[in-house]
Amino acid sequence: MTDAGSSRPPGNSDGGSRPGGSARRRHRGGQRRSPKLQPAGAAARPSGSGAKPAGAPGGKPKRPRQAASGPANPEGSEGGRPARPAPVTTEPPPLVSDHEVRANRRRAATTCALGAASPSLVVGVVLGVAVSTLAGVIGAAGLFVLLTVSIPRIATRIALVVIGARPLGDDELPRFQNLVDGLCPTFGLRRPILMALDEALPNACSVGSGPDHGVLVVTTGLEQVLDLIELEGVVAHELSHLKRSDVVVSSVAVAVLAPFIWISGSDRLLHRVLGTGRELLADKVAVRAVRYPPGLRAALEKFETMGEPRAGSLFARRRLAMSRWLWIDPAVGRRGEDVVGDLDLTSVRVEALTEV
């Protein structure tokens, strides 16, 4: 028989004295009660416990942001002003492409190898017959390597001996030297070594082992015949040969072919090895650099009006054939030997510069 005072209402298992207490505790730990619905249009009042409205720090309601008086800033603008377009920087094309430089260096290497192959083959055959086949092969291979390495190193000196140039004094040809100093930065070149040939006829050529290791040779009559603008065109032409690495081919070709040309007296092989049309290409690079084609054209026209070379001149002797196609005016002393269609002739280049 149970005691009436200890009786518990059914369903109340936590021992609480108040019915529904367990339910209330479950409600506190669970989901919050939904707020009471307010009548439409009634303002919400803060509770007496001092609770702050959501989103209003310090109990103060947030003020709505005022709309800007002006139009919305466009994308990329500053201070409401349209952003300035970024300046478009386009670099001008180079005066000389890397392809031209590499092509000339390959041509020089091929010429050097062919020049070294002939004497190496002769020595190899002689050793093979006199000693043994093995000795001939070793001798030919050793001489080929030696000549291939040595020819580019001595080619410039051989070419200068063939031309007969001498060092230019510091006080000689001042206008020419000033133009060289002014144009070298335009071409991105170091100042070449300047040399002179004692000759009244105006002419110029260049040799060397590379763009920054070149030698520029001019006749002493060049500055006397040409004015400053014409002289600028001639200097730019020769610096173009340096920039294109034409001088590497020139030096190697003269060093390798000089004996054959001296014996035969023909300069056709030299012209073929140097490459036909190279003087015309140098003209185009020169006028792009100085931006005044009439200067170089007038200089070439004056070259054509010059008379015959004096007796004993380089341009009147047999050795001209060994360096003829190195000069800016290759027709000097041989005006009557023009070949139709030759792009390196002075008269053809004058017509080409007229159309530029």
Residue-by-residue pLDDT tens, the chain, 356 positions: 444 444 444 444 444 444 444 444 444 444 445 444 444 444 444 444 444 444 444 555 555 555 454 555 555 445 556 667 666 656 677 888 899 999 999 999 999 999 999 899 999 999 999 999 999 999 999 999 999 999 999 999 999 999 999 999 999 999 999 999 999 999 999 999 999 999 999 999 999 999 999 999 999 999 999 999 999 999 999 999 999 999 999 999 999 999 899 888 888 899 999 988 999 999 999 999 999 999 999 999 999 999 888 888 899 877 789 999 999 999 887 777 666 557 888 888 999 998 87
| Residue written as token pair 């070449």 | 192
Does residue 347 sit within a domain?
Answer: yes
Q: Return d(Cα 273, Cα 140) in angstroms, integer.
A: 24
Assigned domain for 17 exists: no
d(CA 327, CA 335): 14
Does any domain span residue 300?
A: yes
In a domain, 146, yes or no: no
Whether 309 contacts 249, CB under 8 Å: no
Pairing of β 166-167 and β 193-197: antiparallel
Is residue 74 a part of any domain in this protein? no
Residue with tokens 């072919």: 257
Dig out the tokens for 272 from the structure.
Answer: 């073929």
Is residue 257 included in any domain, yes or no? Answer: yes
Burial of 250 (0-12, 13-18, 19+ CB in 10 A): buried
Q: Identify the domain containing residue 170 by its residue range.
A: 155-354
Name the token pair of 210: 């590379």
65 domain residue, yes or no? no
pTM of full prediction above 0.85:
no
Residue 191 lies in a domain: yes
Give how many domains the chain has, as a whole number: 1
As a whole number of angstroms, the distance between CA 289 and CA 236 comes to 7
By the 8 A CB rule, do 212 and 322 touch? no
- C-alpha dist (Å) from residue 262 to 24, 254, 333: 123, 11, 17
Task: Give the separation between CA 270 and CA 324, rounded to whole angstroms.
Answer: 9
What are the structure tokens assigned to 165, written together? 């140039």
